[in-house]
Structures are given as C-alpha cells and as structure tokens.
Amino acid sequence: MSKTFLPFDETLQALENSITTEMGMEHIFIGDALGRFLATDIVAMENNPTHATASMDGYAIAFSDQQQGTLHVNAFVPAGSEATGMVTQGECVKTFTGSLMSEGSDTLIPIENVEVEGDTIRITSAVPKGFAVRPVGENYQAGEVLIKKGTKIGFAQIGVMAELGMVQVEVFMKPRVAILSTGNEILDFGEVKTSHAQIRSSNHVTVEAILRQLGCETMRFKLIRDDRDVIEQQLRQALMWSDIVVTTGGGSVGDFDYLQSILTDMKIENIIDGSYMKPGRHIRVVKSGYKYIYALPGFPYSASVCTFLFIAPLLRKMRAQTFALPTCKAKMGEFYKKRSKFVEFTACNLRFCDGELVVDLEGKKEGSSAILNNLLDKSSLLRVEKDVQKIEKGERVEVLLLEV
C-alpha cells in the first residue's frame, strides 16, 4: 500500500505543535557564553550613564554663558573623580573625556575651541547646547529590556552584560543529540574499501557538524550495519543519553530499511511520517516523553537539508526563538525547471547584484539527493512550491537561509 505524504507545511506545523517544553537552564560565566542562548531577558537595573558625562576633553560650561566669550576656570575634574565641581555664572570647570559633568553645566566646550590665558578661557568657536555631553540614560534607562530571552549570545551581548556588572548568565542547556548512521555499504573513518559497492560515510559527520553549529552537544555513534537488533539496541541506548536521536539511512521502503518498523514497534507518538517534499519525503519523527527521534534519509544532501528543515526549528523553539527558519525574498537570476511534483528545496547561491538579492544555480549539479557538494560555498535553499514547474528569470522567489 502506498503511503500518503502530508503537505510539507502541515508536517512542520505538526512538529511545532508537538513542542511543549523549553530546554533546561544553567548558570555560566559570561566570558564562556559566546554562542549560547539566553534563558531570561536581560534588564538594565540602572541608567547608563548614571550621571551626565563628558565625551570630549574640554571645559564644562553653562550654554547660556557661552556668549560671554571669556570664562574663569574654577576647578579640574579628571575622569574617575567623584567630585564634579560647580559651574556658576561666568565660571567653567576643566573636564576630561569620561569625567562627570559639573553641577550647573549643560555643555562641553572642547579644548580645540578655546584659548587659555592663565585661569581663564576665551571661546574662539561656539558649540550648540548639550555639545559633547552624554546625558543620563544615553545608553539605556533603568528597566529597559536590553537583550531578549532566546538571543544567541555574541560579542555585543557579552560586553553589555559586563557593563551591567553581570558575572554569570542564565543560558539554555545545550541539547544533547546522538547521531546514528546505518547501512551495510558505508565505511567509517579508517575502514579500508574492499569493493566498489562501498562508500565512505559522510552523514554521521555532516549531521553532527550542523548540530554543533546549532549549539548542540553531540555524540556520534559507531556506524551500524543493517541489523535490526543492533539498530534497535543502539537506538535505545542513544535515547537514554540524549534529548534528540538522529538516525540516517535505512528509513525508506527497501528490504533492509529497518528503522521504520523499529519506530513503529516502539509504539511511541508519531509526529511526522513522510512529507510531500524533496529531498526528504521519507522523514519520520517520533516523540518519546520529551525526547525526539528523527529518522533522516540516507542520501547525504537529503540528510543535511532535513537537519536544517526539521531539527533546526525544533532547537529554535526549545531555546525560546521563533520556530521558523529565517527566509528572504529574492529575484531569480536564471530560468529554473523543476522536475518533481513535490515542494522542493534546491541548493542555490544568493548574492547581492546591483542592490538586489539574486538567486542563481551556478556550480550546482543537477541530479539526485545524493549531491552533498551542492551545499558547498555557503549555499541557501530555494523553495519551489509543489504546483510550480518552472520559474522565469526575474520572478520573485523564497529562499531559506542556512546561516542559523
């Protein structure tokens, strides 16, 4: 009996609906938080700066005194000094970049704009009111949400957290993912090829690399031959350690494709059982408690694309981000003919040409879902709907970005 493949978007929706929990949290040192995902909002506890601050070396003045032309220097406030001095009529305070502005002042006249004669200055070039003064709360105000929960922590987030005086930050735990690749014909690292029927396994490392790029802790199992008992035993063992188990190969309809029947016999919640798409229509996703098992196709292009299309959104939602992967609209740079009747995800180049985002397929090979090299050179994925058979040059298209 042939299987019904549900529409791609419906299968993704089923996956999204199945996600009921976020990852657990842990406290880590902010200097070690690069690439991790924030588990709480970061809120400013006070204004920054807390006091009006000079942003140039010069003299703190009252703007209303500027037209007097000559002012008496009554104090000296270096950066770091808590005493701010006082500006009264006809007076000014020598002030440095980073110094607190004196009481009574509202403007800083830079040293380049004055001539100094003893303890007086003569203003040679006027400035507007508030010049070179960083007002209270210029960076942020107390209570402002500075970094949202779910944000991937980069250099700016680490710097702002340091500015806030944070030492530790609450981040989502790294999802633990086990990767099991199956197949009689696939060879592991170092295994010697003894027949033309053998190929070197790539899925176990590409899927692992994508998942590491997506911030997971991974465990790559030894390759498994097409032996039902061993596959089942390894799968159960992997499930104990991990949040997500990913298998590749043996998931379609061949005599040695044991995965589907193992998953069916485990009698656990089926989330996806085939999707009307290319590549990856045999994808199977099941859920056991809070854990997921993904049976990905064996073809290397399919396995990688399905990792992005189906595992990345799960990881996003489990770490408080939007489920959907980032997409953009672009202009098709060449004529494209689609061969399948499925929603198709084709590796493409996305470049800026004359101020526009343009898609082309330069260097991309035509053929089966085996062509992993089509994902070289920072590829993106051109999404072509099931009923669309061709795209004319110049048409608007949707592109999925893989830089997640």
Ligand X SMILES: Nc1nc2c(c(=O)[nH]1)N[C@H]1C(S)=C(S)[C@@H](COP(=O)(O)OP(=O)(O)OC[C@H]3O[C@@H](n4cnc5c(N)ncnc54)[C@H](O)[C@@H]3O)O[C@H]1N2
- Contact residues for ligand X, defined by CB under 6 A: 181, 183, 185-186, 199, 201-204, 248-254, 257, 279, 281-282, 297-300, 302, 369
280 binds ligand MOO, rule: CB under 6 A: yes
Taking the complex as a whole, the smallest distance from the CB of residue 286 to ligand X amounts, in Å, to 15
Residue 119 burial class via C-beta count within 10 angstroms: exposed 0-12, middle 13-18, buried 19 and up: exposed
Cβ of residue 281: shortest distance to ligand MOO, in angstroms?
4
Cα torsion 15, 18, 21, 23: sign:
negative
- With respect to ligand MOO, which residue has the nearer C-beta, 87 or 207? 207
If one asks whether residue 338 binds ligand MOO (CB under 6 A), the answer comes out as no
Residue 297 has φ and ψ, to the nearest 5°, of -65, 155
Pick the closer one to ligand MOO by CB: 105 or 248: 248
**Shortest distance (Å) from residue 325 CB to ligand MOO:** 18
Within the chain, how many helices (H) and strands (E) appear? 7, 29
316 SS3 class: helix
Strands 336-337 and 269-273: unpaired
Using Cβ positions, the residue closest to ligand X within the complex turns out to be 298
Residue 36 to residue 149: CA distance in whole angstroms: 11
Residue among 279, 300, 313, 333 that touches ligand MOO (CB under 6 A): 279
Distance CA 37, CA 315 (A): 11
Closest contact distance (angstroms) between CB of 316 and ligand X is 24
136 phi/psi in degrees, rounded to 5: -55, 130
What is the per-residue binding string for ligand MOO in 343-382, x denoting contact by CB under 6 A? --------------------------x-------------
Cβ density class 257-287: b for 16+ within 10 Å, e for less: bbbbebbeeeeeeebbbbbbbbbbbbbbbbb
Nearer to ligand MOO, 280 or 313 (CB): 280
SS3 content of the chain, % helix, strand, coil (to 5): 20, 35, 45
Told to check if 308 binds ligand MOO by CB under 6 A, we report: no
Task: Give min distance, CB of 336 to ligand MOO, in A.
Answer: 18
The answer to the question of residue 299 lying near ligand MOO (CB under 6 A) is yes
Shortest distance (Å) from residue 336 CB to ligand X: 20
Question: Could you give the CA distance from residue 354 to residue 365 in angstroms, rounded to a whole number?
Answer: 26
Give 282 or 338: the residue with its C-beta nearer to ligand X: 282
For ligand X, which is the closer residue by CB, 153 or 245?
245
Task: Please choose, out of 41-49, 143-151, 216-224, 295-303, the segment that lies near ligand MOO by the rule CB under 6 A.
Answer: 295-303
Contact indicator for 276, 210 with CB cutoff of 8 Å: no
> Per the omega criterion (within 30 degrees of 0), is the bond before 279 cis?
yes
The pair of structure tokens assigned to 389 is 């058979």
Amino acid at 249: G
Q: Is the Cβ of residue 286 or residue 359 nearer to ligand X in the bound state?
A: 286
Residue 310 contacts residue 371 (beta carbons within 8 Å) = no
What span, in angstroms and rounded, lies between the C-alpha atoms of 345 and 343?
Answer: 7
Question: What gap in Å lies between CA 163 and CA 381, rounded to an integer?
Answer: 39
Is residue 281 near ligand MOO by the rule CB under 6 A?
Answer: yes
Q: Closer CB to ligand MOO, residue 66 or residue 374?
A: 374
Least distance from ligand MOO to the Cβ atom of residue 198, Å: 21
- Quick one: what does residue 254 bind among ligand MOO, ligand X, none, with the CB cut-off 5 to 8 Å set by partner type? ligand X
**Residue 250 site contact among ligand X, ligand MOO, none (CB < 5 to 8 Å, cut-off depends on kind):** ligand X
Q: Which is nearer to ligand X, 85 or 249 (CB)?
A: 249
Report in angstroms how near the CB of residue 363 gets to ligand X at its nearest.
Answer: 21
- Considering the complex, what minimum distance in angstroms separates the CB of residue 243 from ligand MOO? 25
User: Is the bond leading into 78 cis (omega within 30 degrees of zero)?
Assistant: no
Check: CB of residue 87 under 8 Å from CB of residue 61.
yes
Find out whether 282 and 297 touch, Cβ atoms under 8 Å: yes
- Partner interacting with residue 248 (select from ligand MOO, ligand X, none; CB below 5-8 Å by kind): ligand X
Please give the residue ranges that form the binding site for ligand MOO (CB under 6 A): 278-282, 297, 299, 302, 369
